[in-house]
Amino acid sequence: MVAEVVNQWAVFTIILSGIALTTGVILIKQGNREAHMRAMLAASGLATVFLVLYLTRLGLGYEKKYVGPDAWRTAYYVLLISHIILAALNLPLALVALWNAWKGLRAAGNLSRIDLPAARPFFDRHRQWVRWTVPVWLYVAVTGWIIYLVLGRYGEVIKG
């Protein structure tokens, strides 16, 4: 029972993280740097809470296996494997992007001065990294939601 509640909170946090991520992307495209930063910190914080809850759930022995139609099995496992690989890749991508944004902000002093020569290289690297990080993060979030829905319908709890 506790593991099921932990699982529900994990799903809730990763949905909110995906929403915050999407909001952050929209905000930076609109030029709203401060709101972008807040949205991305929220997305990162929620993703961190998700990871802790997900690992807690696994530690409690709550896991589901696919027991759905055989015709969907290959597609499900391709989706699951790509999700796992890209989720593992997303953590270092996100950390490097956040590190460069933080270093740039420290060098600039505030978000209105990001064009200072000391800050610009960090923000340029931040932009380069997020061109990869955001699509990977969104793919991982969306495929995670799909996997959750599939296992909600065609999953069987493994007693560990």
CB distance 73 to 57 below 8 Å: no
Whole-prediction pTM value? 0.90
Q: Which residues pair with 62 in a beta bridge?
A: 159
Cα dist. 20→16, 104, 134 in Å? 6, 22, 12
DSSP 109: S
CA 41 to chain centre: 12
Q: Please report the pLDDT score of residue 158 as a whole number.
A: 86
Q: What ranges make up the beta strands (E) of 19-138?
A: 62-66
Domain 2-159 classified CATH 1.20.120?
yes
Q: How many CB atoms lie within 10 A of CB 58?
A: 14
pLDDT category, 160, cuts 50, 70, 90?
A: low
Digit-coded pLDDT (tens) for 19-69: 999 999 999 999 999 999 999 999 999 999 999 999 999 999 999 999 999
The interaxial angle of helices 33-59 and 2-29, nearest 10 deg, is: 160
How far, in Å, CA of 23 to CA of 80, rounded?
26
